[in-house]
Amino acid sequence: MTATPAHPPCHATRWRAATIACLLVIGLGMAAGTSMYEQFKAQVAHLQGQIQNTPRIKYIAVLLDQAQAPAMLATFDPQDGKLQLQRLNSVKEGREDTMQLWAVAPGQPARSLGVLEASGKTHQVRLEEAALARVSQLAVSVENRGGVAESQGPRLPYLFSGALVQKAL
């Protein structure tokens, strides 16, 4: 008598189903891992963009008035290339006057950094970082309308003045 092929035992079907289930779990795990990796890369790129757009203040000065009260806050962000000036008091120049910003370095004549416009509580002056490299003090003088030439120098005493400090980065 010839033997007829028998049906595979029941455990072979279970192994086949378990293998398919394991392959599905592995596939889903790989898809989830890839998705999480892409989300992580996107978050890192987003945070790097935020860091690049965050101001990095390198120089700071608080300019004081004659009574030694804070009158103006100066901050410089080398990435932006602007010296930001914020008035902290209500002193305003007259109609025929202009406030002019000066960089004071030891043993050198004061150097004009620009004229401050009368409007608003904040001002921005475009500068190269090298313009502040050896400066020890910032000062503001009141000059005739439009400011004075650097060769003429500031009118003394200064209206506001204060030490320029380079922050550690």
Which letter does DSSP use for residue 131 in this model?
G
Tens digit of each residue's pLDDT (9 = 90 or more) over 19-76: 999 999 999 999 999 999 999 999 999 988 888 777 788 899 999 998 999 999 999 9
* pLDDT mean over 131-157: 86
* pLDDT mean over 82-102: 84
Residues in CB range of 57: below 8 A, 6 or more apart: 75, 76, 77, 167
Q: Which two tokens stand for residue 80?
A: 């932006």
Q: What percent of the chain has pLDDT over 70?
A: 91
Residue 118 has a pLDDT of 63
Other beta carbons within 10 Å of 88: 17
CA distances from 4 to 1, 7, 8 (A): 9, 9, 12
**Among 122, 125, 116, residue whose Cα is nearest residue 147:** 116
* pLDDT mean over 94-104: 85
Residue 60 has a pLDDT of 92
Judge whether residue 141 has pLDDT over 80.
yes
pTM of the model: 0.67
Residue 43 has a pLDDT of 94
Judge whether 103 and 138 are in contact, CB under 8 Å: yes
**What rounded mean pLDDT belongs to the chain?**
86
Judge whether residue 96 has pLDDT over 80.
no
